[in-house]
Amino acid sequence: MVSAQLKGRHFLRVNDWEAADLVTVLDLADRLKARYKQRVEDRLLEGRTLGMIFTKPSTRTRVSFEVGISHLGGTALYLSANDLQLGRGETIRDTASVLSRYLDGIMIRTFHQSDVDELAQHADIPVINGLTDDFHPCQALADVMTIRERFGQLEGVRVAYLGDGNNVCHSLMVACAKLGATFVAATPEGYEAEEEVVGWARAAAEESGGSVELLHDPEVAATDADVLYTDVWTSMGQDEEREQRIRDLQAFRLDGHTLSMASERAVVMHCLPAHYDEEVTEDVLHGERSAAWDQAENRLHAQKALMALVIR
């Protein structure tokens, strides 16, 4: 069921992986999901261990990784960065070397992408990025899995991201572009996605037949969208900017009016946690067009597939 081609690979950013690798994960995720629904066990990681280092809070990432590896026959360890010697100055390199002697994989959620890259550089086991200030690749896997589930494919699907051009936007943009979607992001001026990431996404779209467009008008972006996607306006670590962000992002709220401009088949997505009456309204996120709860569930299935593919 599991091909050996991705064994030992790190998953640090979506752009590091070929479209075909992402499809390998998505195909296995669909299969594991269907089998899990039938209560068929797939103990693909019997006896393996995953260390989960957290410098930021989490509900979905923590629970889906922990439950996911346990479904596969393995065990997860929750490692709060503050309780590790890492929090008292042990180097990332030494931490990577030691953890590689105990564990079969590491998932890390922290601030700087460079710390995750450094951990991966020195680890002998796969490192999975569970969110940094720049990227959220595991979220993007669940996102494209959910879009494929709803529309059968990514090609030709118009995905509109409204709000802050942040970590979630970056990873979603690259994943959609690699898989052939028509991606459009509408952000206020000053909140655009990073140019380098947009460059990766545009290069990927050229190969896949997709497209990437950046706008400042949320209504233009939402018009005829098949997916309306948003994320929090104030990400973890940005709390001091909250008041300013709320002012700047007001016009980008995803509400019933936004939904009325989208295509007839449109779904609403959000990586969660949601902040109601900021980036999204509660009626829309709990309404009949919401795919957000399937999307949250798919974190479990997508990450089970990812772990089964990369952990030896």
The interface partner of residue 232, options being ligand CP, ligand NVA, none and the CB cut-off 5 to 8 Å by kind, is ligand NVA
Q: Select which of 109, 158, 245, 270 is catalytic.
A: 109
Distance in Å, CB of 55 to ligand NVA, minimum? 12
Count, residues near ligand NVA per rule CB under 6 A: 9
- The residue (of 52 and 271) whose beta carbon lies closer to ligand NVA is 271
Is residue 299 annotated as a catalytic residue, yes or no?
yes
Q: Select which of 9, 71, 136, 170 is catalytic.
A: 136
Q: Select which of 231, 245, 301, 303 is catalytic.
A: 231
The interface partner of residue 59, options being ligand CP, ligand NVA, none and the CB cut-off 5 to 8 Å by kind, is ligand CP
Is residue 158 annotated as a catalytic residue, yes or no?
no
Q: Using CB under 6 A as the criterion, what x/- string covers residues 96-135 for binding ligand NVA?
A: -----------------------------------x----
Is residue 153 annotated as a catalytic residue, yes or no?
no
Considering only residues 134 through 193, tell me which ones interact with ligand CP, judged by CB under 6 A: 139
Q: Which stretch binds ligand NVA (CB under 6 A): 11-19, 150-158, 165-173, 243-251?
A: 165-173
Phi, psi of 3 (to 5 degrees): -75, 155
Q: Using CB under 6 A as the criterion, what x/- string covers residues 203-242 for binding ligand NVA?
A: ----------------------------xx--xx------
Residues with catalytic function: 109, 136, 139, 231, 271, 299
- The contact set with ligand NVA (CB under 6 A) reads 131, 166-168, 231-232, 235-236, 271
